[in-house]
Amino acid sequence: MVQRESPVSAFVVGCVCGFLPTSLLLIASQMLDHHMAHDLRFEHSIHRNELLLYERVNRNAPGRSTKTPATQHPDSRQNHRKGGEVADELAKRVRILCWVATVPENHMTKAAHIRDTWGNRCNILLFMSSKNDSSLPAIAITSKEGREYLFDKTKAAMEYVYKFYLESIDWVLKADDDTYVIVENLRYILSKYNPAHSLYLGCRFKPFAKQGYMSGGAGYVISRAALKSFVEEAIPDKDKCMQAGSGPGEDVQMGICLENVNAKIIDSRDDLDRGRFFPYTPEFHLFPDRNSQSYKWYWEYQYYPDQ
């Protein structure tokens, strides 16, 4: 025989079933409110510390405003405008001519992308090739291409820059057509130095020259004075600079020639001794495999071993 539930029992069961979910929901809501309040207090403490730090840094500092900021997080567009103003001012004071070594088959696949991106931030941008190309534009500076002719191309390009731009520039950046440069940062580095001094910087390797040489793959920079010495003193003198033919790599030969005309190397690392010129991809340098036999030479060539 089936026993029927009494109305009182059904009422009790219904109350329990309805009360439990409501209680759990209320507890969860209170816990969420507690965590949100904690997060807000934590966020407030961060902003308060930022404000205290701002006041401490600016208190009685010469040339700094003593007013607190109107908001704790200024409009990013204002920061961008200020950054742009600084970059524009540096562009006037630190004049960089960038010349890019390229080949005809790379004009539109590689060099054009430099023209459309970082290259247009240089004061003057030139592409040196073996074929004139008005669409880039590229200058036919040599008739031969190939690794054995790279230094001949570099010498011809430097002579071209010397002939037409010496008085219009402060620094010369030599780069390949697969190089990427943050020109604003480069100007900031160079702003500390006098281009009237014979200077040379980049990713410094230690063999072949007493003071080392700069990796060609990372791009390197020479001052106006170093350009003048290279063209006037080094290139014409076979004892100071190789004239033609096969020999060490272009970057090695450039280092030897500049050393022979007393160009001084600048340590281009930052205040924490971190490199700022790199010949390989960001991934290679961010996650280096120092056990790789393919790149063993790179670590052995480093002038600064901890870089």
pLDDT tens digits for range 53-78: 334 334 443 333 333 333 444 455 55
Is 262 in contact with 298 (CB distance < 8 Å)? no
Is 199 in contact with 222 (CB distance < 8 Å)? yes
Instruction: Output the pLDDT for position 282.
Output: 85
pLDDT tens digits for range 206-247: 989 999 999 999 999 999 999 999 999 999 999 999 876 666
pLDDT tens digits for range 263-279: 999 999 999 999 999 98
Instruction: Output the pLDDT for position 38.
Output: 44
- Which residues sit opposite 202 in a β-bridge? 220
CA distance 218 to 279: 4
Is 154 in contact with 217 (CB distance < 8 Å)? no
What are the residues whose beta carbons fall under 8 Å from the beta carbon of 28, sequence distance 6 or more? none
The HSE-up count of residue 281 (CA atoms within 13 Å, CB side) is 4
Instruction: Output the pLDDT for position 78.
Output: 55
CA distance 199 to 211: 12
Q: Is the pLDDT of residue 127 over 90?
A: yes
User: Is the pLDDT higher at 14 or at 224?
Assistant: 224
- pTM summary value: 0.71
Nearest to 196 by CA among 170, 229, 173: 170
Q: What is the CATH number of domain 96-301?
A: 3.90.550.50
User: Is the pLDDT higher at 43 or at 307?
Assistant: 307
Instruction: Output the pLDDT for position 294.
Output: 82
* Sign of the alpha-carbon dihedral angle for 86, 87, 91, 93: positive
pLDDT band per the 50, 70, 90 thresholds, residue 153 = very high
- For residue 278, count other CB atoms closer than 10 A to its CB: 19
Q: Is the pLDDT of residue 11 over 70?
A: no
Q: Where are the domains of the chain?
A: 29-59, 96-301
